[in-house]
Amino acid sequence: PVEFQPIDNISEMLAALERGEAHFAAAGLTLTPQRQAALLAGPTYQTVTEDIVCHDNTLVDALDDLPKIRLLVSAGSSYEERLRALQADWPTLTWESSAELTTEQILQAVWEHKTDCTLVDSNIFQVHRRYFPELRLAFSLENPQSLAWLLPKTHGRLLESMETWFEGMRDDGRLASLLDRYYGFTVDFDAWDTKVFLKRVGDRLPLYEKYFREATAETGLPWELLAAVSYQESHWQPDARSMTGVEGMMMLTRKTAASLGVTDRRDPRQSIMGGARYLKQMLDRMPAHIPMPSRLWMALAAYNVGYYHLRDARSLTVQFDKNPNRWADVQTVLPYLSKPRYYRNLKHGYARGLEPVIFVKRVRHYYDLLRFGPQYRQPATATVQVDSAPLLLKAVDNTP
Residue 91, preceding peptide bond in cis (omega within 30° of 0): no
Residue among 50, 224, 233, 247 flagged as catalytic: 233
Q: Are 18 and 39 in contact (CB under 8 A)?
A: yes
Is residue 233 among the annotated active site residues? yes
How many angstroms separate the CA atoms of 116 and 167, rounded? Answer: 41
How many angstroms separate the CA atoms of 80 and 185, rounded? Answer: 30
Handedness of CA 166, 168, 170, 173 (dihedral sign): negative
Amino acid occupying residue 90 = W
Lay out the sheet containing 150-151: strands in order across: 2-6, 391-395, 24-26, 150-151, 40-41
- Catalytic residues, which ones? 233
